Amino acid sequence: MQKIQVEIIVHADIETVWKHWNDPQSITGWAFASDTWECPHAENDLTAGGRFLTRMSAKDGSFSFDLTGTYTGVVENEEITYITDKAPEEESSRECEVKFTNLGDGTTKITEIFDAEQVNSIELQQAGWQAILENFKKFVESAQ
């Protein structure tokens, strides 16, 4: 399965980035790719074997889906690995890795590496995940 990588630098310390990445209330403020979408609900049991759910919905009510999965590894302030649940249109679940790097001076780099899915193009997937990272950056930096 082909891997896709996206990354961003957030102007916030690693503890703040970690908190907002994993807190369900914060997740609802950034986990969507454009202003026409929203995240009305999130659940997160951030432990190895724990489950997560992130609901992404079009604001006009035309479409909604849940991203769900199971954490396979959690190293606080460093790395999260998980496997998504298989969506009906997919052949298999996908592995994802999120790395958090403390760059010093109150900045943090986030790198996501994930298996490509078979429905959408690589370019569309990369653009969508990058847009979500951009929303995360905006959310965290405006919350300070």
Residue 125 is part of a domain; what is its CATH number? 3.30.530.20
Whether the per-residue pLDDT at 44 is higher than 90: the answer is yes
Mean pLDDT within 60-74: 95
Q: How far apart are CA 42 and CA 14, in angstroms?
A: 21
Confidence at 92, pLDDT banded by 50, 70, 90: confident
Model pTM greater than 0.75? Answer: yes
Q: How far apart are CA 84 and CA 86, in angstroms?
A: 6
Confidence at 117, pLDDT banded by 50, 70, 90: confident
Contacts of 123 (CB under 8 A, 6+ apart): none
Beta bridge partners of 113: 5, 97
Write down the H helix ranges in the chain.
Answer: 14-22, 24-27, 122-143
Confidence at 39, pLDDT banded by 50, 70, 90: very high
Whether the per-residue pLDDT at 49 is higher than 80: the answer is yes
Domain count within the chain: 1
